[in-house]
Structure 1
Amino acid sequence: MNDLYMEEVSLSKYKQTKQFAWKRELLYILLIEKASPVMTLLVKSSYSHRFLSSSTPAMSVCSSFCPQLPSYFRQKPINSLPTKPLFPLSFKVFSSQATGVSAKADELPGRIGFLGMGIMGTPMAQNLLKAGCDVTVWNRTKSKCDPLISLGAKYQPSPDEVAASCDVTFAMLADPESAMDVACGKHGAASGMGPGKGYVDVSTVDGDTSKLINGHIKATGASFLEAPVSGSKKPAEDGQLIFLAAGDKSLYNTVAPLLDIMGKSRFYLGDVGNGAAMKLVVNMIMGSMMATFSEGLLLSEKVGLDPNVLVEVVSQGAISAPMYSLKGPSMIESLYPTAFPLKHQQKDLRLALGLAESVSQSTPIAAAANELYKVAKSHGLSDEDFSAVIEALKAKK
């Protein structure tokens, strides 16, 4: 491993056609010192997050992906490159958890339930079906289950019947109230649970709600795991979510192959409540970033700059984030195709502020962002993508 180095290079241009736009990609280039001229190139797209390998001479491949590759890559021989890794390698990045490699069929739990066929639950359940899993689905509006049924899913008319017929039941609900009702209410999943069964709540809720659900599930003799996800519609479709799990470790190990089908990585964080807290902190940061990015886009335009150029500049600097590159162009056109509803972002900010209050942590930036999302909701933007928060700033003109 001493001879293994990596360099991160950002594509500098967005090349648009009538049908698609190239997204900024990250090239992770493995350079093996004293190797033959043919080297291994790993390309990781910030859009798909999947790894590919190539046995093509590295420089020619790099040129095709990144014409503006730093000059020392083109002009200097391999043995003149730095001898200190630019960042440490993590074997987890190259594991099946990170790449979305499907688990073997004999490693999967038998019967899987999935409650909540919304913008996230539907693609997650679809990926389980595509991997050959035996999946039973439920949703308050049955018609939302039809696409899954057409792919081979079974259907049960209530959460308790799903839980009773399955070994492990997943739930992806919109908010703490829905999560509690589906798990613990009348005909809730807890009524169908028992020893040997597991309940995995992948909804974004506060820690107190997660602990209440845990108590109801464990009272039946079943096991509970919270595993909220980082990622929105596209990562869910691509099986590229990040799971933030906490709770029963044995259940975590049991469902790990399923998490690997639906996600690119997973973290086990210990006791119930830790996964919920981590997700709220992540979404608090994301919501604040989007609010500030919105201010920057509008300010650049107002002072006569091209906001598209701002997106490009930001994408190449230290504050680069895939969110800016993906959302920026559509925000400039006042288009907000929903990947993560604005109402859910505001809900997560509200819950994060409550978490901060519980430990007396000051969060003035997140508090200000929360007020902006509330203004956006008052303008009827609740079901738009959370990037529509920019409209709240336009309304202040």
Structure 2
Amino acid sequence: MAVPMSVEAGAPVAVIGAGIMGSAMARNLVAAGFTTRVWDRSASATAPLADAGVVVEATAREAVADAAVVITMLSTADVLDAVMFDSGTVDAFADGAVWAQMGTIGVPATLRTRDRLAATRPAVRFVDAPVSGSKGPAEQGQLLILASGPHAAAKPLRPIFDVLGRRTVWLGEAGRGSQMKVVVNAYMSILIEGVAETMALADRFDIGHEELADAIEGGPLDAPIADAKLHKMDRGDFAPEFPLEWALKDIDLAIDSAGDDVPPLLAALSRQWHTAVAAGHGREDISAALLALR
């Protein structure tokens, strides 16, 4: 039986993927005193992390070697497969390590990843732990972590998750975290599209955006993320915190997970956002949903 490894005993943490979320995680971990390694296929993404004290590795295999915890924050299931399995990265995991898969890849892909790892590296514990939150919460260590997997993995992950998030919810066996994530992101996306369409309707009635905000704020219809995106849209600030193309990916993952009985509002939202991404707004913030209505 593999001996569990511990970051508290000085074993490194590896972060695979240094985009908006992964880079924020790596910065917070090294600032908290953890030996932190990172790999990303883009050198421009990892160079600033080296200045912050993160060890930048040339390959993902080198990053995970001897790491007690490996965090993956990659964009899609195909990228995850290519980096972790096709390139042999899982073969470099230490026995007793914990793999925290924190990117959003959907339920079927999560279960395939769990089963593929179990077949090839049974001594590595797999935790499905997608997060709710965007750039700001990631940088502030205020993510909501939706964790699922073996109970034995909770203890070695606790000090890591305490740095990365404001709260960790354990939901049962691996896959339950990804189920909750697609549900939570569906809710969030519907809210933000609602804000965009409400603002477009207000414009037609010549109702000012601040008037609209004043009518909603502090009442039963108020929601923090809706309020934040309303003001972001009002400023015309579409700098990416959570890019629209990522939000669309999550909506399509929710639709794929729903089977034959696709929720009609999500189906309509997917069509609307595919149009927005095709118009060139995919790399902009999710608040750029407003631009597709103009």
Which TM bucket (shorter chain)? over 0.9
Correspondent of 1:384 among 260, 270, 284:
284
Residue 258 of structure 2: SS of its match in structure 1?
helix
Name whichever of 136-145 and 156-165 sits farther off: 156-165
CA contact (8 A) 1:229 1:243 kept: yes
Say whether residues 1:209 and 2:109 are aligned partners. yes
| 1:136 aligned partner | 37
Inter-partner Cα distance in structure 1 for 2:86 and 2:237:
38
Inter-partner Cα distance in structure 1 for 2:212 and 2:235:
14
Residue 36 of structure 2: SS of its match in structure 1?
strand
The 4+ residue runs of structure 1 with deviation greater than 4 A are: 105-109
Paired residue type of 1:148? L
| 2:25 aligned partner | 124
| TM-score under structure 2 length normalisation | 0.93
| 2:3 aligned partner | none
Show CA shifts across 1:111-152 (max 9, x none). 110111101111111000110000011000123112221122
Distance change >3 Å, CA 106–CA 169, structure 1 → 2: closer
The share of aligned pairs that are identical, in percent, is 29
CA contact (8 A) 2:104 2:130 kept: yes
Structure with higher Rg: it is 1
Inter-partner Cα distance in structure 1 for 2:157 and 2:10:
7
Q: How many corresponding residue pairs?
A: 287
- Larger helix fraction of residues: 2
CA contact (8 A) 2:244 2:277 kept: yes
Alignment of structure 1 residues 349-360 onto 2, 5 Å: 349-357=251-259, 360=260
Paired residue type of 2:92? G
| 2:249 aligned partner | 347
CA contact (8 A) 2:145 2:167 kept: yes
| 1:193 aligned partner | 93
Paired residue type of 2:269? A
CA contact (8 A) 1:285 1:366 kept: no
| 1:162 aligned partner | 63
CA contact (8 A) 2:7 2:13 kept: no
Correspondent of 1:316 among 210, 218, 221:
218
CA contact (8 A) 2:232 2:287 kept: no
Unaligned residue ranges in structure 2 (runs of 5+): 1-5
Say whether residues 1:393 and 2:293 are aligned partners. yes
CA contact (8 A) 1:156 1:162 kept: yes
Alignment of structure 1 residues 37-186 onto 2, 5 Å: 107=8, 110-186=11-87
CA contact (8 A) 1:108 1:257 kept: no
Inter-partner Cα distance in structure 1 for 2:215 and 2:11:
49
Distance change >3 Å, CA 297–CA 148, structure 1 → 2: same
| TM-score under structure 1 length normalisation | 0.69
Unaligned residue ranges in structure 1 (runs of 5+): 1-104
Inter-partner Cα distance in structure 1 for 2:195 and 2:134:
18
Post-superposition offset of 1:249: 1.8
Inter-partner Cα distance in structure 1 for 2:7 and 2:189:
40
Paired residue type of 2:205? V
Inter-partner Cα distance in structure 2 for 1:249 and 1:179:
24
Show CA shifts across 1:62-85 (max 9, x none). xxxxxxxxxxxxxxxxxxxxxxxx
Q: Which has the higher contact order (CA 8 A, sep 6+)?
A: 2
Correspondent of 2:180 among 260, 278, 282:
278
Distance change >3 Å, CA 260–CA 242, structure 1 → 2: same
Name whichever of 246-255 and 221-230 sits farther off: 246-255
Post-superposition offset of 1:300: 0.9
Distance change >3 Å, CA 162–CA 292, structure 1 → 2: same
Paired residue type of 1:184? F
Paired residue type of 1:369? L
Paired residue type of 2:127? L
